[in-house]
Amino acid sequence: MSCGEPHETDCAEVLDHLYEFLDHEMPDSQGHKFEEHFEECSPCLEKYGLEQAVKKLVKRCCGHDDVPSDLRDKVMGRIDLIRSGQKPPSTDVSTEAQGPRAAAE
Protein backbone atom coordinates (compact mmCIF):
# COMPACT_ATOMS: atom_id res chain seq x y z
CA MET A 1 0.00 0.00 0.00
CA SER A 2 1.22 3.47 -0.78
CA CYS A 3 -0.49 6.81 -0.65
CA GLY A 4 1.36 7.87 -3.80
CA GLU A 5 3.15 10.73 -2.06
CA PRO A 6 6.92 10.77 -1.54
CA HIS A 7 8.00 10.34 2.09
CA GLU A 8 11.37 10.11 3.80
CA THR A 9 10.31 6.67 5.04
CA ASP A 10 8.46 4.66 2.40
CA CYS A 11 4.92 3.43 3.14
CA ALA A 12 5.94 -0.17 2.39
CA GLU A 13 8.74 -0.01 4.97
CA VAL A 14 6.40 1.45 7.58
CA LEU A 15 3.79 -1.25 7.01
CA ASP A 16 6.41 -4.03 6.94
CA HIS A 17 7.63 -2.98 10.39
CA LEU A 18 4.34 -1.79 11.86
CA TYR A 19 4.20 -4.44 14.60
CA GLU A 20 7.75 -3.66 15.68
CA PHE A 21 6.61 -0.06 16.10
CA LEU A 22 3.41 -1.06 17.92
CA ASP A 23 5.35 -3.36 20.26
CA HIS A 24 8.10 -0.76 20.92
CA GLU A 25 10.71 -3.17 19.54
CA MET A 26 12.62 -0.75 17.33
CA PRO A 27 15.28 1.86 18.06
CA ASP A 28 13.98 5.30 18.99
CA SER A 29 15.53 6.86 15.89
CA GLN A 30 13.52 4.57 13.62
CA GLY A 31 10.40 5.02 15.76
CA HIS A 32 10.63 8.79 15.34
CA LYS A 33 10.74 8.33 11.56
CA PHE A 34 7.57 6.27 11.76
CA GLU A 35 5.85 8.92 13.90
CA GLU A 36 6.77 11.58 11.33
CA HIS A 37 5.45 9.34 8.56
CA PHE A 38 2.11 8.89 10.33
CA GLU A 39 1.81 12.68 10.70
CA GLU A 40 2.01 13.14 6.93
CA CYS A 41 0.40 9.93 5.60
CA SER A 42 -3.25 9.38 6.46
CA PRO A 43 -3.55 5.87 4.89
CA CYS A 44 -0.67 4.57 7.02
CA LEU A 45 -2.04 6.38 10.08
CA GLU A 46 -5.39 4.69 9.49
CA LYS A 47 -3.72 1.26 9.20
CA TYR A 48 -1.71 1.97 12.37
CA GLY A 49 -4.89 2.92 14.24
CA LEU A 50 -6.66 -0.23 13.09
CA GLU A 51 -3.78 -2.52 14.10
CA GLN A 52 -3.46 -0.72 17.44
CA ALA A 53 -7.18 -1.27 18.11
CA VAL A 54 -6.92 -4.97 17.21
CA LYS A 55 -3.92 -5.37 19.51
CA LYS A 56 -5.81 -3.74 22.40
CA LEU A 57 -8.85 -5.92 21.76
CA VAL A 58 -6.78 -9.11 21.75
CA LYS A 59 -5.02 -8.04 24.96
CA ARG A 60 -8.33 -7.29 26.65
CA CYS A 61 -9.96 -10.55 25.55
CA CYS A 62 -7.00 -12.93 25.74
CA GLY A 63 -4.53 -11.27 28.06
CA HIS A 64 -5.77 -12.81 31.29
CA ASP A 65 -4.21 -16.25 30.96
CA ASP A 66 -1.27 -16.74 33.29
CA VAL A 67 1.72 -18.64 32.00
CA PRO A 68 2.90 -21.39 34.37
CA SER A 69 6.14 -20.31 36.02
CA ASP A 70 7.91 -23.56 35.12
CA LEU A 71 7.13 -22.98 31.44
CA ARG A 72 8.49 -19.45 31.63
CA ASP A 73 11.65 -20.72 33.35
CA LYS A 74 12.15 -23.39 30.66
CA VAL A 75 11.71 -20.89 27.83
CA MET A 76 14.03 -18.34 29.43
CA GLY A 77 16.62 -21.07 30.08
CA ARG A 78 16.58 -22.09 26.42
CA ILE A 79 16.88 -18.49 25.31
CA ASP A 80 19.93 -18.08 27.58
CA LEU A 81 21.49 -21.25 26.11
CA ILE A 82 20.94 -20.03 22.55
CA ARG A 83 22.33 -16.58 23.34
CA SER A 84 25.45 -18.15 24.86
CA GLY A 85 26.00 -20.14 21.67
CA GLN A 86 25.09 -23.53 23.14
CA LYS A 87 22.64 -25.86 21.51
CA PRO A 88 19.56 -26.49 23.67
CA PRO A 89 18.65 -30.13 24.26
CA SER A 90 16.13 -31.41 21.76
CA THR A 91 12.86 -32.75 23.10
CA ASP A 92 10.00 -34.57 21.50
CA VAL A 93 7.06 -32.28 22.19
CA SER A 94 4.49 -34.96 21.36
CA THR A 95 5.99 -37.34 23.97
CA GLU A 96 6.29 -34.55 26.53
CA ALA A 97 2.64 -33.60 26.08
CA GLN A 98 1.49 -37.19 26.72
CA GLY A 99 3.26 -37.42 30.06
CA PRO A 100 5.94 -39.64 31.58
CA ARG A 101 4.10 -42.91 30.94
CA ALA A 102 4.18 -42.39 27.17
CA ALA A 103 7.88 -41.52 27.29
CA ALA A 104 8.65 -44.80 29.11
CA GLU A 105 6.88 -46.96 26.51
pLDDT computed for residue 50 by the predictor: 94
Tally of CB atoms within 10 A around 87 = 7
State the sign of the Cα–Cα–Cα–Cα dihedral 94, 96, 99, 100.
Answer: positive
21, 15, 19, 12: which is closest to 54 by C-alpha? 19
Q: What is the structure's pLDDT at 101?
A: 52
pLDDT of residue 66: 75
Instruction: Classify the phi-psi angles of 4: left when phi > 0, otherwise alpha if psi is within -120 to 50, otherwise beta.
Output: left
What does each of the 105 residues of the chain score in pLDDT, given as a tens digit? 567 777 888 899 999 999 999 999 999 989 999 999 999 999 999 999 999 999 898 888 876 767 787 888 888 888 888 888 888 777 655 545 555 554 455
